[in-house]
Structure 1
């Protein structure tokens, strides 16, 4: 029990440290955490197909802007220093998790067909 608490505390510290590092890199490019999710995964592709068109358009525009900034070797903070980018805002990742849970449930229910 005590070992578990120590491990959880250490993991939480490492996770917060990593999250701060990722957030600073995403802020420089103008991306959100959801934007760097691999869209070639089946679950993500399905969630994007079901998502609101405004969400998909915003994601596409952020990705294009990040590519442009990278090509120009610029930083998003040079153009908009006071913008709140909501780096860890979740718009479609909840749907990805629901699709994964649905697929796991389907696999468990059909395990007898093997």
Structure 2
């Protein structure tokens, strides 16, 4: 019985995730952003990953953010200016580094857990 409930739950979550990704993707495309551009730069892991990122990645990110701000201010869409532009909305350039930093920090916390006791 639990396996059936889990299977149905997984299918529902998969469907909901796809619907959310499609909705989010259309909003990102409107401004020419990538999902990673929405990550909070003030989070420790994101800040460190950005400091380790290639300068070209940072330049592209800053240009996308500035373009999105400009488009939002003008109440325009990127499609108004570049209707045939290829966008890779969910490309991961810094997320792998964020995951490694989190894993490192978790390992460090576990290794030093005895100090708090």
How does the TM-score come out when normalised to structure 2? Answer: 0.96
Secondary structure class of the residue paired with 1:91: coil
Q: Kindly indicate whether residue 7 of structure 2 is the aligned counterpart of residue 14 of structure 1.
A: no
For 1:72 and 1:103, the matched residues in 2 are separated by 42
Counterpart pick for 2:112 among 99, 110, 113: 110
Aligned to 1:28: 30
Cα offset for 1:27? 0.1
Let me know the Cα RMSD of the aligned residues: 0.5
Structure 1 gaps, min length 5: none
Cα offset for 1:84? 1.1
How does the TM-score come out when normalised to structure 1? Answer: 0.98
Q: CA offsets, 1:39-89, max 9 Å, x none?
A: 110000000000000000000000000000111111000111111110000
Equivalences for residues 1-114 of structure 1 within 5 A: 1-114=3-116
For 1:33 and 1:77, the matched residues in 2 are separated by 18
The count of aligned residue pairs is: 114
Structure 2 gaps, min length 5: none
For 1:19 and 1:31, the matched residues in 2 are separated by 14
Q: Which runs of 4+ in 1 moved over 4 A?
A: none
